[in-house]
Structure 1
Amino acid sequence: MPVQLTIVGASGSVSGPVSPASSYLVQAPYEGRIFSLLLDLGPGSFGALYRYLDPADLDAVALSHLHPDHCVDVCGLYVAGRYAPTAPWRRIPLYGPGGTPERLQRAYEVDGATEPGLSIAEWFEHRVWAAEQTVGPFTVTVARVAHPVEAYALRVDENTPGGGSLVYTGDTGPTPVLAELARGADLLLSEAAFLGAADNPRDLHLTGADAAAVADAAGVGVLVLTHIPPWHDPEQVRDEARRVTRRPVELAAPGVRWTVGASA
């Protein structure tokens, strides 16, 4: 099995009527089994994850940044890991920006009340992003992007000859680091929360056209647009991208899966 990307949630900024918020499952063979890395866990995505695997089988979680639409359902993963019939689940690595344990503790706890046992800040094996790290069968390289909080784009390369590579922008405004990080990747999973407009705020989000420009500059194989909020028409976002690039432009939606790499 080559690298596979499955969309768990693709709605931008909030969960939507047909999709949870951002969450993406990346899987590849590793040590005689399938390794499962989850990128972000936005509202509604933890429950939806059960459609694709038993969440107890997750091997690692990676958070691009700590806005709630990308991380708040880590609380659900923690609850299941402690209280589901098969609990306690094994503790797994959770990669994120500095301050991730404290951020999750603020999201979970109420008025300082605590529960017996490990808190959410202690449950995971918290690991602060380094420029590059090995995560199971993958090398994950990160780059700081243009967003109001500490936020990262993530590049996931399979550590085998000819292995697949994908880049997830997380949330970001236009920045040259995206094309640098995505150079030659098989797939670019890019946020596209804005429609083209002269008054879009700086350093916040991309348009479909911005994402297409990155895809062309980086020479990626396919562009997948995600993080489109429910108040925008995804086809309009894709049309803006297609006016910029001739490479394939696809839309992320729950359950859609891509095979990433030479055998795609």
Structure 2
Amino acid sequence: MRLTVLGGCGAWPTVQQACSGYLVERDGFRLLIDPGYATFPRLLGHVTPDEVDAVLVSHGHPDHCADLNPLLRARALGDTPSSAMPLYAPHGALDAVLALDRPGMLAAAYTLRPFRPGERFGIGPFAVDTWELPHFVPNAGLRLTADGTTLAYTGDTGPSPDIVRLARGADLFLSEATYLYEVPDPGDAPYLLTARGAGRYAAAAAAGRLLLTHLWPGTDAAVAAAVAGKAYGGPVAVATAGLAVAF
């Protein structure tokens, strides 16, 4: 399995960093996970729009799905329109982004396959297990397995014992880490994670390596990795555009 980071910035993109977006490849199948703000131009540095085989979205916040719109436009309006691409997302998560254009304009470019967090299904070579993890909107933690290799991804989440179940023994654990030590607003604390918390969950799950993502804009990546590393003894990195991890 190979994961290429398109972006890992939380909330909004910066000059250096797009929001959440990950291209996962196995046996020639290309799965795009969470095409957030500004990820589409980064995607084009790796594949053409018609080479994306499916899209999987953890939840409906625009920093995780807004750039689905230009991807669908490129597939629907290009000189040679592409076949319908499967879109997997929690029920209703893509309603807003799919309503950006006039009704029917992009309908031929996709097939919507909604799921409820907690369900298990397949996408190409991947077996996908999902957990409903706490966030401001319904969010699915995602565990992808292919031929004994596993990627676990939290989407956006607050603290939950299900995170350990999601990440247990995963070769790569991709975890949101919006803040360093604690969530500053107590009202947000049930719905977001920290680098310290991500490290603790990675250690409890005995994950093979930890990749932090969704850092608040301006957060020092080296500091975030160091904070997580105090709780987790395995390899720690931060999701930055262009980073590729084979596992």
Query: Do the aligned partners of 1:21 and 1:70 also contact (CA within 8 Å) in 2?
Result: yes
In 2, Cα distance between the equivalents of 1:57 and 1:36?
7
Return the index of the structure with the highest Cα Rg.
Answer: 1
User: 1-side partners of 2:159 and 2:108: how far apart?
Assistant: 35
Which of 97, 104, 125 does residue 137 from structure 1 map onto? 125
Does 1:21 pair with 2:14? no
Where does 1:160-199 land on structure 2 (aligned, <5 Å)? 160=147, 163-197=148-182, 199=184
1:7, 1:49 → 2: CA distance?
9
Structure 1 unaligned spans of 5+? none
**Are residue 8 (structure 1) and residue 6 (structure 2) matched?**
yes
| Residue in structure 2 matching 1:102, options 92, 95, 100 | 95
Matched-pair contact (CA < 8 Å) for 1:13–1:69: yes
Task: Return the offset for 1:252.
Answer: 1.1
Equivalent residues, number: 243
CA distance in structure 2 between the partners assigned to 1:6 and 1:245 by the alignment: 23
Deviation at 1:13, TM superposition (A): 1.2
Supply the distance in 2 between the matched residues of 1:171 and 1:205 (Cα, whole angstroms). 6
Deviating above 6 A after TM superposition, structure 1's stretches of 4 or more consecutive aligned residues are none
2:180 and 2:195 in contact (8 A); partners too: yes
Q: Deviations over 1:177-219 (max 9, x none)?
A: 1111111110101111112137442222111110011111111
1:104 Cα shift? 2.1
**2:226 corresponds to which of 214, 239, 249:** 239
C-alpha distance in structure 2 between counterparts of 1:58 and 1:95, whole Å: 13
Query: Percent of pairs identical after alignment?
Result: 35
2:150 maps to amino acid: S
* Whole-angstrom distance in 1 between the partners of 2:75 and 2:227: 42
Equivalent position of 1:73 in the other structure: 67
Q: Does 1:93 align with 2:78?
A: no
1:41-60 matches, within 5 Å, as: 41-60=35-54
Give the TM-score of the pair, scaled to structure 1: 0.87
